[in-house]
Amino acid sequence: MKRLAIITSGGDAPGMNAAIRAIVLSCHTKDILCFGFYHGYNGLMEDEYQLLSPEVVRPITQYGGTILKSARCPQMHDDAGVKQVASTLKRHKIDALIVIGGDGSFRGMMALQAFWSGRLIGVPATIDNDLACTDSTIGFATAVNTATQAIDKIRDTANAFERVFIVEVMGRHSGHIAFNVGLATAAERILSFENCPTDDFKHVEHSLIAQIQTQQQNNHSSFVIVLAENLWPEGPQGLKKSLFESAKIESAVCVLGYIQRGGSPSPEDRILATELGIEAVSAALTDSGVMIGKVNGVLTRSCIIRATEQNKPVDQALHSVYKHLTYT
Ligand code: F6P
């Protein structure tokens, strides 16, 4: 293998830069020319790239975001867009493409397999941690830290004002962030896909009201609800409205949003990204259509289809722990 390309694609995740650095340095030791295309698949369409030398990546491990920029790329849903990406890769005689991203980015890789015969390797990076075949994705640990610190601050105000707070966290359609952050912040209630029957929100609302009222009678001063985004009808404002209309419970809403995607990656994410990046280059020498992961401390190469199509549920142990923690 002589020429390798990298993109970072989809939602940026803290640790992407550490993965880029590891890949570039590993290519350097193997005498492989490394192309960094900008803005995810868009850069491959527009032929927008930079050759990545060790000098370019020296001071980047500690930074969030991605030096290669990122983007979503709807054109990857059409053959025309995928062919355009393939033609850029062929023109530059690229032997392997490493995609650092989440499930949408990996679906782009699968589409590319039909039009390009080079090697395709995925490195899982998303704050959502919603990919199978790896215990953790790059960025998840940092997002959990960031959201935990933010809610600790919110807790001070919640205590001071004896207030109910509804804090929405990211995760798209998975509850990994909600459950981990909810447990880490001793939230009185975690509302996520895994523990809320989406066909019976009224039931959830009634049990929540009962829990808040019992706690208020027992003089516990604050009540924090960690709510997974995209779960509740009309979001946190919808829940706030229901609590007031059904039980005259006042609450404050805080949507943590993109604060969870940014910031300096935690040491855990930097190290994971570095390990996965190095392994991705080794995999690109022999394999294709695989995602690099780390399962029970061991680096793995799994079929990209399995990694994206299998659901990774929130750890059952977290559910069990949470069930033992209610004050009511
Ligand atoms: O996948 C990462 C993520 O931050 C999700 O948690 C969130 O639902 C989504 O991306 C937001 O996407 P966008 O950056 O396109 O608004």
How far apart CA 255 and CA 38 sit, in angstroms, is: 30
In the residue annotation, 135 being an active-site residue is answered as: no
pTM for this entry: 0.97
Q: Active-site residue among 128, 135, 199, 269?
A: 128
Q: How far apart are CA 101 and CA 11, in angstroms?
A: 7
Residue 328 pLDDT greater than 90, yes or no: no
- CA dist 11 and 177 (Å) reads 15
Question: 213 CA distance to ligand 1 centroid (A)?
Answer: 34
By the 8 A CB rule, do 82 and 112 touch? yes
pLDDT of residue 327: 53
Share of the chain above pLDDT 70, in %: 99
Domains of the chain from N-terminus onward? 3-139+265-309 (3.40.50.450), 141-261 (3.40.50.460)
Residue type, 129: N
User: Rounded CA gap, 39 and 78, in Å?
Assistant: 18
Mutational pocket test of ligand 1: of 9, 107, 131, 170, the residue with most ligand atoms within 8 Å of the beta carbon: 170
State the average pLDDT for the chain. 96
Q: What is the per-residue pLDDT across 152-186, written as a single tens digit (0 to 9) for each?
A: 999 999 999 999 999 999 999 999 999 999 999 99
The per-residue pLDDT for range 60-119, each reduced to its tens digit, is: 999 999 999 999 999 999 999 999 999 999 999 999 999 999 999 999 999 999 999 999
Cα–Cα dist 101/99, whole Å: 6
Condensed to tens digits (0 to 9), the pLDDT of residues 275-284 reads: 999 999 999 9
Q: Which residues have CB under 6 Å of ligand 1? A: 11, 72, 102, 126-128, 170-172, 229, 261
For the segment 199-221, the average pLDDT, to the nearest whole number, is 92
Mean pLDDT over 33-41 rounds to 98
